[in-house]
Amino acid sequence: MRRALPWLIPVLLVAAWQLAAMLGLLSAQVLPAPTDVAAAGWELARSGTLWTNIEISAWRAMVGFAIGGGIGFALGIMNGLSPVSETLTDSTLQMLRNIPHLALIPLVILWFGIGEEAKVFLVALGVFFPIYLNTQHGVRSVDPHLLEMGRAYGMSNAAMFWHVVLPGALPSIFVGLRYGLGIMWLTLIVAETIAATSGIGYMAMNAREFMQVNVVVLSILVYAVLGKLADSVARLLERNALKWNPTYAKV
């Protein structure tokens, strides 16, 4: 029973939506009925277009995340551990962070055109900062008592890193991961809407040209489902990696 309760409100909303559409309170041009959206989804799934577009969008998202997240993670670790590295690079990075990456879209299009590189670049840029900041913060805030214990017990620097620093930084790193995932989808949606010839965003813009509102709504739902999926995977990883922590034991 308790597991079903969180779904109560969404189900009621969808039911109300369906009812409103059927009663003519909602024009099909404003918001088509759920059944209409489902039908469009079924059609696109059958023809394969839906899957192709999802695949392309997912690919861009993952590659961008891997690049931006990978660099962000590496720099976060370095700047967390090394005061020299931090002094050299952190200010520059903070300055760059204050430029909203979505505002760079016109520049990116000029540089990269509307090919895959442009979208992957934007996603990588967006994902970089939350992961960098949270990784660095995680490394810096490892319990100094544990670090001292490690030193007192003769742990090598490598052992300290793998057994004390990294596990201690993990909760923060996961926060960065989940933030990064959210920004990944956001960036992708915008990038695909503005400059694309494939993908879910393109599918939505194309549908808009032909007044296929149901496809537009479908695209939004697909993005939402993908976003939820990514977050669920992240939460699963988090629960698994942090099962020693009382805060996460019951999540």
Partner 1 sequence: MPPFAARGAAVTLRDVSKAFGEHRVLRGIDLDIPPGEFVAVVGRSGCGKSTLLRLLAGLDDPTSGTIEIDERRGDRSEAVRLMFQEPRLLPWQRVAANVAVGLAHAQTRRERHNLAEEALLQVGLAGRELHWPMVLSGGQKQRVALARALVSHPGLLLLDEPLGALDALTRIEMQDLIESVWQDKGFTAIVVTHDVSEAVALADRILLLEQGQIALDVEIDLPRPRHRGDAAAAEIEGRVLDRLLRR
* Residues of the shown chain interacting with partner 1 in the complex, contacts defined by CB under 8 A: 145-146, 148-155, 163-164, 167-168, 170, 244-246, 249
User: Which is nearer to partner 1, 3 or 243 (by Cβ)?
Assistant: 243
User: Which is nearer to partner 1, 2 or 250 (by Cβ)?
Assistant: 250
Which tokens belong to 236? 């699963």
Least Å distance, CB 33 to partner 1, is: 50
User: Which is nearer to partner 1, 70 or 168 (by Cβ)?
Assistant: 168
Other C-beta atoms within 10 Å of 200: how many? 25
Q: Which residues contact 58 (CB under 8 A, 6 or more apart)?
A: 226
Least Å distance, CB 18 to partner 1, is: 47
User: Which is nearer to partner 1, 68 or 150 (by Cβ)?
Assistant: 150
Q: Which residues of 122-151 are buried (b: 16+ CB within 10 A; e: fewer)?
A: bbbbbbbbbbbbbbbbbbeebeeeeeeebe
Other C-beta atoms within 10 Å of 174: how many? 20
Least Å distance, CB 151 to partner 1, is: 7
Least Å distance, CB 247 to partner 1, is: 10
What's the CA angle centered on 81, arms 142 and 141, to 5 degrees? Answer: 20
